[in-house]
Amino acid sequence: MMEKKNNKVSVICPYCGAGCRFELIVENGKAIGIDYEPDHPVALGALCPKGNSAVELLNHPERLTFPIMRERNGKTRRITWDEALQFVANKLRQIREDFGPDAVGFLASAKVSNEENYLFQKLARLFGSPHVDHCARLCHSPSIVALSRALGSGAMTNPISDLENSRCILIIGSNFSENHPIVSRWVLNAKDRGAFIIAVDPRKTPTTEIAHIHLMIRPGTDGILLNAIMAQILREGLANYDFIASRTEGFEHLKDKLRQIDIIKAAKQVGVPVGDIVITARKYATSPSSAIVYCMGITQHRYGTDYAASCANMALLCGHIGRSGAGIFPLRGQNNVQGASDMGALAEFLPGYVRTDDVEKRQNVAKLWGCDDLPSGGLSVTEIIGAILDGKIKALFVMGENPIVSDPCSAETEKALSMLDLLVVQDIFMTETANFAHVVLPAAMWAEKSGSYTNTERRVQWSPKALNPPNEAKSDLWIIGNLGKLLGLWEIPPQPEDILREINLAIPFYGGITPERIATSKEGLIWPCLDENHPGTSILYSEKFHRENGRATFVTSEVDFEASISHEPFSLITGRVAVHYNSGSITRKLPSLLRYTPNLELTIHPSDASELGIKDGSTVLVKTAKGTVETVAKVSSSVRQGSVFMPFHFPETNRLTPKDLDPIARIPSFKDAKCRLLRKDK
Amino acid sequence: MKEIFVRIDRCVGCRSCELACAVEHSRSKTLFGAITEVPRPKKRVYVEYIEHRKVPFVCRHCEDAPCAKACRTGALTQDPVTRIVTHNPDRCIGCWLCVMTCPYGMINREEERRIAVKCDRCPEREEPACVSACPTKALVFAEEQEFTKLVRQETLSKLLPGYAS
Amino acid sequence: MQSMASWKIFINPERCIGCHACEMACEQTHGGASNIKVQCAPVFCRHCEVPPCITVCYRNAIEMRNGKILLIKDLCTNCGICIFACPFGAIMTTTITRRIEPKEKAHRDVPLLSRLFGGKIFPKERQIVLVHKCDGCVERAEAGVARPACAATCPSGAIECKDIAQASSSKRIRTYEVHLVTHLTHREGTSL
C-alpha cells in the first residue's frame, strides 16, 4: 500500500472528476491538515477551494455515526447494525416475494469507490432487480450514449494536461473555471503558447473571460450553432477529407444535411454575429490541433444526446482526434462518476458497458457471478421515481445520492419517496433525502476506506485508508458486503483488493489495473489497460476507433432543432458555483466554503429587472409548471436578456425544473426550463 | 518621436546590443571598465534564443504604459510628450508590480540595490546605444513614417523586377 | 543556484479565476484569518525589497529575513501604522473577541462608574484588532517545501514562485509565441 510519510497519507480528492491528489496529515487518528503534491500529473499539486475543505469535512460534528430507524410517526431512534441490516434484508426479501424483484430500485453513488459500486450493482442484479442507476443519468448520460455510438467509447479522449498542447480550444457549455478549476491552468498555458480560445455559453462566467471570443448564445441553440459551424467548415473547403475517408463512415448523410444550412439564418436564431460563427469555423478547422471541451450546457437538454453527437461530428469532420492537443473533453463532474459508469451502475449497462439487452454478453457476466442469467430492462433514475408514483416500485435503496435536491421536479420526488414501503439511505450526513428514509445507515468518508476511483481522464487511482470512520460509521463496502451476505448472495463480504481482481476479469479494459500496480503508483493507470504489462492509454483512437470495424461514424440527427427553440421569457438556466458541490449536502455544512456563497440567488439582466420592478437584493417569486419558490435577485449583465440563472446547490432550485427526458439517454432537460418571475412585495 | 523598430529576421544573436546597453549605463563608459565595475552595470535589452530564431526585445515605452500605471510610489513615470518611461531609483521599493504588469517582460532586477532596472532610451545620446551597436541594422531608430517608408521601398525593390520589360 | 532572496511570489492577475483557494490554503497553513484577499485577483504582501512598512514601524516589529518580510507578533502592538504605509493594502486586520479575566490590567479602561460599584459591573469581553500579513510561508521554506501554500494550491497558476529574471524571460517568450511567431512564419524566406 502507499507509504505513510510521517502520518501524511496521499489521497484522491472526494469532490469533482478532475482526480487531484493531496496529502492528508493525520495525527492520533484525526485529520489535522493537508499538503500539496507538486508531482501529480493532473494539476501539479494544485487544489481548488473545495479540495482545501477536506479537513473541515472529515471532522464535521453532524456526521452520521450510528444506524437510525424512523418510525411511522416520524420519530427516529438509534439501532444496532445487526438490527438495521436484518431489518433491511428481511423487508427486501418480503417485498420481492409480494411484488417481485422488479419492485425494488437501487441508486448507486458517483462518489464511492469502484469496488463499492461494482459490488452494489452486483448485489442488485443478483437480488433480481434490473433497476440500478445513478446520477450520471442527470449529467453525462448523453455523452456515454453519443460518444459510444460515434467513436466506440463514451469517455474523454485525452488527459486534461494535454489541453496545453492544443492550438485552438472550443469550450461549449462548460464553466470549468468554477467547476473544474484546475482545467483553467492547462487552457491558460495553451493560450500563453498562442492558442485561440473560443467560449460558447449563454452566460458570462470566469471561463468565458479566458476566451478570445465569447459566443453568448440563446439558451438551447447549441445544436443549431454546431451544425452552422460545421456547415461553414464544409463550405470553405476546410474539412479533413483524408481523415474522413480513411477513418470514418456515414459522412454523406451528414454532408447532405449540412449543405442545407443557411448560416445567416442560424446566426439570427442563435443570437450571435455571423462573423463569430465564421471565425470559430476557420480557427477550429485550420489549427494544427484543436480540442472541444464540453459539459452540462451540451448534455442537459431534450436533445442532449444529439448535441453531444454534434461535438463528435465536428471533431471527426476536421480530424481533430487521436493525437496530442486534439480530442473531445466531456468533463465528468464527480470524483468517481466515470468509475460508477464503468462498473455498470447504470440501467442499460453491466460492468464494462455490456448492454443488458445483449443476451450473450449478459449471460457471460452471469456465468462469472455463478448464475445463469441476469435481469434487464432497468429504469433510469427519474423513471424510477415515476414507477414509484405508479405503484410499481415499492422499495428504494439509496447509496450516497440526494435525489430530492438533484432530481428535477422535487415535489414529485418527495411524493414518491413518501409512498415507498421501504426507503433505505446510506450516507454521511442526514440529507434532504435521508429525512424521508425508514432506515438511515451511516457511511464512512472517502479517506476512511481504501478503494480505486476513476477520474474524467479514465485514470484509475488508488486512495488508501488514512484514518478510521467515527463511532459506528462503516465503509459502503462493509455495509453492502454484509447486506449481500444476509440476502444469501455470497458467503463472505469481500475486501476491496479482491473485488478489483474480479473487475480485472469482468472488464477487459480494466484488465491490467491490478491492486498491486495502482496501490504503489501516484498517477494510477489510464484505461484501456488490457493486461499486467500494458502501460495504459492516455490518448484514445490514435490508431483506430473502438467500433467493430475500427472506424468512427458520423451521427446525423433527424431532429428539427429549430422547432425546439422557445421564445417565451424567461429561460431558467440551472448550474453550479465555485465553492459548492452538487446538491450542497456537504458544502452547505462547511463554513469555510459557505461564507462565499451563503444563499441562493437568481441572476437577472438589468433590463429585465427594471421592467419587472425588481431591485438587486429584493425577493422574487419564481414560477414554473412544477412549482413556485422564493429567492433573492442579483441584477447582473452576466446573463442574457430573457434568461435567468439559479445554482442547484440549494433545494429550492430543482423544485422548478421539468421532468421531460431526452428520449435516448433519458437525461432530464434541466437547462430547457422556462419560468415566470414576479416581484414579491413586502 | 523616434521609436526603436526591430527587424527580427535580421538578428544574428551577436548580443552587441546587450553589451552596448550595459556599457552605456556604466560609470566608465568603456567595455573594460564596465566589466570590472561594482555594482556590475545591467543591460536593459534582451536577445532570446527561441527555437531556431534570435529575437531581440527592447522596451516599447508603451502609450499609457502599464508599468508606470502599476507603480505605486511614482518611481516609474511617463513623460507625456516624449512618451519615455523613466525609472527613478530613489523612489523604487522593489515591489515588482512593474515586472508583473509588463506584457513584454522588459523589466529586471538590480541585485545590489534590490530595485528595478529598465530602458531609459539613452537620454544622453543622439541614438540609443543598442541601435548604434547593431551590426546588421536589425534595430532601427526612426520616426514611424520613415520606417514604414523603408519597408515599402524594400518591398518594391523585390516586386518591381517581376514587372521588368 | 539563486539565493532564496531572489524568489518572488508572483501574481498573474489575468489567470485568477476568483475561486478563493489561496485564501483557504493560507488560513489552514497559518491558522486564523487569511493573509490574502481576493478581489478580482489575490492581493497580499509583495515582500518589497525596500519596504515602507519596516521604515515606519517604530517598534522594529517588522524585519526582513531571507528576502521575506516578517511581522514579529511579540513586538507588534497592532497599532496599524504599517497598514497606512503599505501601498498595496496587503497588511490585513482581523477582529477577535477576547474574554477579559478579572483582575487583568485591561480593567484600567473599565468605566469609572463600574469601578465605583466595586468592579461588579465590567465588560466580560473586548474586541481586539490583530494586524497580520503574509510571511512568505517561512515555516514551509524552513521545512524544505519549495512553494508557499497559496502558490502550491492555486488551480490556475495565478500565483507562482519565480525569480524575476526568469519571470521576465518567460514573458518575452510568451510575447513571441502569441504575437510574433505567425508574423515571422509568414515572412519566412524574405529578407525584409
C23 inside domain: yes
Number of Cα atoms under 13 Å in the Cβ half of residue A557? 22
Which member of B103, B107, B155 has the closest CB to residue C192?
Answer: B155
d(CA A391, CA A385): 10
**Is residue C40 situated within a structural domain?**
yes
Say whether the peptide bond before residue A196 is cis (omega within 30 degrees of 0): no
Do domains A81-136+336-506 and A141-330 share one topology? The answer is no
**Rounded Cα–Cα distance for residues A187 and A181 (Å):** 11
Cβ contact, residue pair C147, A38, below 8 Å: yes
Cα-to-chain-centroid distance, residue A151: 20
Beta partners for C7? Answer: C163
Residue A2's pLDDT is what?
A: 45
Window 108-127 of C: residues touching B by CB (8 A cutoff) are none
Which pLDDT band, with edges at 50, 70 and 90, does A384 fall under?
very high
Task: Look at phi and psi of residue B20 and say left if phi exceeds 0, alpha if psi is from -120 to 50, else beta.
Answer: alpha
Residue A243 contacts by C-beta under 8 Å, 6 or more apart in sequence?
A: A316, A318, A319
State the pLDDT at residue C40: 86
Mean pLDDT of A224-243: 97
Beta-bridge partner residues of A172: A200, A294
Q: Which pLDDT band holds residue A92 (cuts at 50, 70, 90)? A: very high
| Residue A630, beta-bridge partner list | A621
State the cell numbers at C5.
Answer: 532572496
In a domain, C113, yes or no: yes
Predicted local distance difference test score (pLDDT) of residue B154: 87
Nearest CA to A183 among C20, C22, C155, C17? C155
* Structure-block grid coordinates of residue A299: 448534455
Mean pLDDT of A257-283: 96
What is the arrangement of strands in the sheet containing A422-427, beginning at the earlier edge strand?
A76-78, A68-70, A439-442, A422-427, A395-399, A104-107, A132-133
Which percentage of chain B shows pLDDT scores above 70? Answer: 99
Of A458-462, A498-502, A531-535, B31-35, the poorest mean pLDDT is in B31-35
Q: Which domain holds residue C47?
A: 7-164
Q: Which residue in chain C is spatially nearest to B56 when comparing CA positions?
A: C172
Count how many domains chain C has.
1
Tell me phi and psi for residue B79, to 5 degrees: -70, 125
Mean pLDDT, rounded, for A395-417: 96
Query: Residue A480 is inside which H or E element, if any?
Result: helix A476-486
Q: What are the Cα distances from residue C146, in Å, to A51, A288, B46, C66, C149? A: 21, 36, 29, 14, 10
Candidate from C25, C145, C181 with C-beta closest to A194: C181
CA angle A173, A177, A181 (to 5 degrees): 125
CB neighbour list of residue C87: distance below 8 Å, 6 or more residues apart: B72, B73, B93, B95, C52
CA distance to A16, A214, A464, B135, per residue, from A199 (Å): 21, 5, 38, 46
- Angle, CA of A391, A394 and A399, to the nearest 5°: 130
CB-based contact C17 A53, cutoff 8 Å:
no
C152 vs A contacts (CB less than 8 Å) = 36, 38, 45-46
The pLDDT mean for chain A works out to: 95
b/e map A22-54, b = 16+ CB within 10 Å: bbbbbeeeebeebbbbeebbbbbbbbbbbbbbb
Unique residue bearing C-alpha cell 449478459: A362
CB C134 within 8 A of CB C35: yes
The single-letter code of the amino acid at A43 is: A
Between A510-524, B103-117, C110-124, the lowest mean confidence (pLDDT) is in: C110-124
CATH number at residue C39: 3.30.70.20
Q: Which three cell numbers stand for residue A198?
A: 473560443
The strand pair at A422-427 and A395-399 is best described as: parallel
Tell me how crowded residue B161 is: count the other CB atoms within 10 A of its CB. Answer: 8
pTM of the predicted structure, to 2 decimals = 0.93
Please report whether residue C159 resides in a domain.
yes
| CA angle at A212 for the pair A207 and A217, rounded to the nearest 5° | 65
What's residue B161's pLDDT? 84
Q: Any idea which architecture A81-136+336-506 has in CATH?
A: 3-Layer(aba) Sandwich (3.40)
Q: Write down the residue that cell numbers 530564431 correspond to.
A: B53
By the 10 Å C-beta count (0-12 exposed, 13-18 middle, 19+ buried), A142 is classed as: buried
Cβ contact C171–B102 (<8 Å): yes
Helix (H, G, I), strand (E, B) or coil at A373: coil
Judge whether residue A63 has pLDDT over 80.
Answer: yes
CB atoms near residue A646 (< 10 Å)? 24
Q: Where are the domains of chain A?
A: 81-136+336-506, 141-330, 568-679
Q: Which residues of chain B are within 8 Å of residue C6 when distances are taken between CB atoms? A: 109, 111
> How confident is the model at residue B111, as a pLDDT?
87
Whole-number Cα distances in Å, A665 to A110, A346, A348, A426, C65: 17, 11, 10, 27, 61
* SS3 state of residue A118: helix
User: Of the candidates C64, C52, C57, C71, which has an alpha carbon nearest to the alpha carbon of residue C5?
Assistant: C64
- Among partner residues C18, C21, C147, which is closest to A47 by beta-carbon distance? C21
Give the confidence band of A261 by pLDDT, cuts at 50, 70, 90: very high
pLDDT above 70 for A207: yes
Could you count the other beta carbons within 10 Å of the beta carbon of residue A544?
14
List Cβ neighbours of A382 (8 Å cut-off, separation of 6 or more).
A137, A407, A408, A659, A661, A666, A668
Using the beta-carbon criterion (under 8 Å), do B9 and C192 form an inter-chain contact?
yes
Cα–Cα–Cα angle for A537, A542, A548, rounded to 5 degrees: 95
Q: Give pLDDT, residue B155.
A: 87
* Cis, peptide link before residue A528, omega less than 30° from 0: yes
Distance CA B20, CA B29 (A): 9
CA distance A345 to A133: 5
Q: Please name the residue ranges forming H helices in A54-165.
A: 54-58, 81-99, 114-127, 141-151
How many CB atoms within 10 Å of residue C181? 17
Task: Report the residue of chain A nearest C148, measured CA to CA.
Answer: A36
Pick the residue of C27, C39, C153 with the most A CBs within 10 A to test the interface with A by mutation: C153
Query: Cα separation of A33 and A50, whole Å?
Result: 14
Q: What is the mean pLDDT of chain C?
A: 85
- Chain A residues near any Cβ of chain C (below 8 Å): 33-36, 38, 43, 45-49, 51-53, 55, 177-178, 181-182, 184-185, 188-189, 191-194, 206-207, 578-579, 592, 596
User: Is ipTM over 0.85?
Assistant: yes
pLDDT attached to residue B129: 97
Residues near A55 by Cβ (< 8 Å), separated by ≥ 6? A24, A31, A32, A33, A34, C28
Encode pLDDT of B93-141 as tens digits: 999 999 999 999 999 999 888 999 999 999 999 999 999 999 999 999 9
- Measure Cα distances from A519 to A35, A302, A467, A500, A564 in Å: 20, 41, 17, 11, 49
Which CATH superfamily includes the segment(s) A141-330? Dimethylsulfoxide Reductase, domain 2 (3.40.228.10)
Q: How far apart are CA A207 and CA A545, in angstroms?
A: 31
Taking the CA atoms of C57, C58, C62 and C67 in sequence, report the sign of the dihedral they define. positive
Those residues whose C-beta lies under 8 Å from the C-beta of residue A579, and which sit 6 or more positions away, are A49, A50, A587, A593, A594, A596, A597, C19, C20
Q: How confident is the model at residue C102 (pLDDT cuts 50, 70, 90)?
A: low
Rg for chain B, CA atoms, rounded? 18
Per-residue pLDDT tens digits for C37-76:
999 899 999 999 999 999 999 999 999 988 899 999 999 9
The answer for A579, left when phi > 0, alpha when psi is -120 to 50, beta otherwise, is alpha
C177 vs A contacts (CB less than 8 Å): 192-194
The residue among A407, A353, A361, A336 whose CA lies nearest residue A144 is A353
Q: Which of the four pLDDT bands, split at 50, 70 and 90, describes residue A147?
A: very high
Chain A environment of C13 (Cβ under 8 Å): none
Contacts of B155 (CB under 8 A, 6+ apart): C192
Architecture per CATH, A568-679: Beta Barrel (2.40)
Residue C52 included in any domain: yes
Which member of A43, A46, A49 has the closest CB to residue C24? A49
Q: Is the pLDDT reported for residue C191 higher than 50?
A: no
Q: How far is it, in rounded angstroms, from Cα A114 to Cα A111? A: 9
DSSP string, A411-470: HHHHHHHHH-SEEEEEESS--TTGGG-SEEEEB--GGGS-EEEE-TTSEEEEE---SPPS
Tens of pLDDT, residues C160-173: 998 899 999 999 99
Quick check: C13 contacting B, CB < 8 Å? yes
Chain A residues touching C143 at Cβ < 8 A: none
Is residue A180 predicted with pLDDT exceeding 80?
A: yes
Q: Is residue C158 included in any domain, yes or no? A: yes
- The reply to whether C171 falls in a domain is no
Query: Do residue B96 and residue C164 have CB atoms under 8 angstroms apart?
Result: yes
Buried b (16+ CB within 10 A) or exposed e, A329-342: bbbbbbbbbbbbbb
The pLDDT of residue C192: 37
CA nearest to C82, candidates C68, C65, C96, C62: C62
Q: How far is CA C127 from CA C48, C96, C130, C133, in A?
A: 31, 6, 10, 19
